[in-house]
Amino acid sequence: MKTAEDAKELAHAMVGIGNATGRKTMAIISDMSQPLGFAIGNALEVKEAIETLQGNGPEDLTELCLVLGSQMVVVGGKAETLEEARAMLEEVIANGEALKVMKQFIENQGGNPAIVDDVSLLPQAKYVNEVPSEKEGYISFMEADEIGTAAMVLGAGRATKESEIDLAVGIVLNKKVGDFVRKRRIDCHYLFEHRRTRRMHEDDI
């Protein structure tokens, strides 16, 4: 949704549908004007998810997980209040139980749970290119749609339903909105598989 009003309308509609079917339903309106966390790309985001469950994830991603997770715990009847639910989630992150459950999820779906302990087992891109800042100043906004398109161009998403996704490629940001950037310092880096991709789309990145 491009506006808060549209987001509220959709949230009310979805909660209404859920409640009408006999399901206790909650909704959260969250900020999607910039990428969540720092990673954009399949393996890169899995790595960031593991870091988050280790207690070392980006602040915004960690907070959204705790907010959404707290609602799920309350809706599921495991806690009476959101505060109680959040404390439960923080505890399982701190004691490592959350990571154990992630390993179980991966194994039950036929994946390799060892990646949780060794993220180098995730798909790795052949090349990494750094993108320096052209100017100095504070980041006032990000074009989230364009960043997503750039990641798709690298192969992290599909342009059509026939497109093949490259699990290794993507973009990793170093800054968020509100951060200060010095000229010629690295804003982000992108990971790609073919040098041809770099030549074709470096301007877009």
pLDDT value, residue 2: 85
Q: What is the average pLDDT value for the chain, to the nearest integer?
A: 92
CA 121 to chain centre: 19
Alpha-carbon distance 149 to 170, whole Å? 11
> pLDDT band at 201, cuts 50/70/90?
low
DSSP annotation string for 102-126:
HHHHHHHTT--GGGGT-GGGS---S
Q: Give the phi and the psi of residue 95 in degrees, each rounded to 5.
A: -95, 0
Kindly state the helix (H) or strand (E) to which residue 40 belongs, with its residue range.
strand 39-40
pLDDT value, residue 195: 59
Residue 187 has pLDDT above 90, yes or no: no
Q: What is the pTM of this model?
A: 0.87
CA 82 to chain centre: 23
**CB neighbourhood size of 78 (10 A):** 11
Share of the chain above pLDDT 70, in %: 95
32 versus 14: the higher-pLDDT residue is 14
